[in-house]
Amino acid sequence: MSSTKATPHRKITIAAVVEQAERAIQMVNDVRSRMLAPQSKKQAPVFSMTQVAALCGIDKGQFSYRLTKEDLPGGQLNSTGSRREFSLESARKWIQSYRAESLRPKGKRAVTISVGNFKGGVSKTTTAMTLAQGLNLRGHRVLVIDTDPQGSLTTLFGVLPDTDVSEDQTIAALASGDETSIKPAIQSTYWDGLDLVAAAPVLFSAEFMLPARQMRDPSFQFWDVLNLGLESVRDEYDVIIIDTPPSLSYLTINAFMASDGLIVPLPPNALDFASSAQFWSLFSDLAANLVESAGLTKTFDFIHVLLSRVDASDAASSVVRTWIAATYAEKLLPVEIPKTSVTSSSSAEFGTVYDISKYDGNIKTYKRARDAYDRVADLVEQSIQSSWAGQD
């Protein structure tokens, strides 16, 4: 019997890994610059008259008539003069004027929603971003907070966690105790009415700082830091959306404890279903302990499970969907997000359906995805309105 002799590996040093890391970050930067060219910043979409009218809930005739009154932004003719275009900012003025009844009533505070699931890749970040954009396009002023040190949500804003984000633009200062308000960490973004608290790898330090503070001061409530930090901005926003890391981290607990509502994206496959069962038991054990030990009660106004990345061609998924429906009953949102190729083209990869002004591919494919995300925004908006109604 002949044996092939394996050659020993050359050892890979840490210095080589460091060099590798630098190359990877450089590559991400290069790709981003190419994608965003000729501008170096991400651009918000522009809207046609038909699109703005639809967002206002009126027909084109009503829109044209209102246009003649000249009390709302008139938009601009495009370069060929054939079409009227509206910037996001102008479109939002129209929307806010027509949807005044649906917006946050005077004296009410922002409704805070965490998107969570301890599993990665289930669509948490995509859900957080599309929900923020969808609610913003319904007239709401939205703050999004990225609590995942990997900063995927931050990246969707065209902001790179490794190079564009400083520690004071994240919730790190809240975790360390240097700040008690989230306000100094807020930045405006390419999207009018959508502000960001970014994330960066430096946030990993929160996982040490929070327990360390608790050790020093037993009365310190490590899980209440974000909640307290948000107090000063709850009058300034309509909705606050928090994206969380794929783990039961100190930051995830902070996000959930600061929230009025939870959204749990869940793709209909057996492994994701099984891990969602762990999610609920881990979280409820922990929350029960924390809350009881502090003699407090924590309630949520709503918890929604959202079927995400649903692959219609996958036969097994329909079986898992019946398990999900039986388990989560009324918590399951009556909509599913299809697995879609809309954002898979390289030009759209660092964006969502809402970033696309004009889709190059099959319009049906786009509409199917867009309709599903719109439906989620509508359903969540109803939950938000119920929360406002319940605020004292």
d(CA 135, CA 378) in angstroms, rounded, equals 8
Tokens found for residue 167:
């520690």
Minimum CB–partner distance for residue 18 and Mg ion (Å): 25
DSSP 181-196: -SGGG-B--SSTTEEE
> Mask of contacts with ligand ADP, 243-282, x by CB under 6 A?
---x------------------------------------
339 binds ligand ADP (CB under 6 A): yes
Whose Cβ is closer to ligand ADP: residue 96's or residue 152's?
152
Size of the site for Mg ion (CB under 5 A): 3
184 binds ligand ADP (CB under 6 A): no
Tokens found for residue 225:
């830091």
Whose Cβ is closer to ligand ADP: residue 133's or residue 340's?
340
d(CA 74, CA 6) in angstroms, rounded, equals 72
123 binds Mg ion (CB under 5 A): no
d(CA 388, CA 369) in angstroms, rounded, equals 29
Whose Cβ is closer to ligand ADP: residue 46's or residue 266's?
266
Identity at 378, one-letter amino acid code: D
* Residue 241: φ, ψ to 5°: -115, 130
Identity at 63, one-letter amino acid code: F
Contacting ligand ADP (CB under 6 A), which of 56, 91, 103, 122? 122
H runs (alpha helix) in the chain: 14-36, 49-56, 60-69, 88-98, 124-136, 152-156, 172-176, 206-216, 225-230, 250-257, 270-293, 315-328, 363-390
Size of the site for ligand ADP (CB under 6 A): 14
Q: Pick what 114 binds: Mg ion, ligand ADP, none; C-beta below 5 to 8 Å, kind-dependent.
A: none
Minimum CB–partner distance for residue 125 and Mg ion (Å): 3
d(CA 261, CA 284) in angstroms, rounded, equals 15
CA dihedral for 99, 127, 266, 276, sign (positive or negative): negative
Contacting Mg ion (CB under 5 A), which of 124, 140, 304, 321? 124
Tokens found for residue 222:
């490590």
Minimum CB–partner distance for residue 366 and ligand ADP (Å): 12
Contacting ligand ADP (CB under 6 A), which of 96, 114, 126, 221? 126
Q: Pick what 340 binds: Mg ion, ligand ADP, none; C-beta below 5 to 8 Å, kind-dependent.
A: ligand ADP
Whose Cβ is closer to Mg ion: residue 52's or residue 128's?
128
d(CA 357, CA 48) in angstroms, rounded, equals 9
Minimum CB–partner distance for residue 173 and ligand ADP (Å): 24
Contacting ligand ADP (CB under 6 A), which of 121, 201, 361, 390? 121
Helix 250-257 vs helix 270-293: angle between axes, to the nearest 10 degrees? Answer: 70
Minimum CB–partner distance for residue 245 and ligand ADP (Å): 9
340 binds ligand ADP (CB under 6 A): yes
Contacting ligand ADP (CB under 6 A), which of 57, 74, 120, 390? 120
170 binds ligand ADP (CB under 6 A): no
d(CA 282, CA 196) in angstroms, rounded, equals 29
| Residue 329 burial (CB count, 10 A) | 9
32 binds ligand ADP (CB under 6 A): no
Applying CB under 5 A, which residues contact Mg ion? 124-125, 152
Please give the residue ranges that form the binding site for ligand ADP (CB under 6 A): 120-126, 152, 246, 309, 337, 339-340, 343
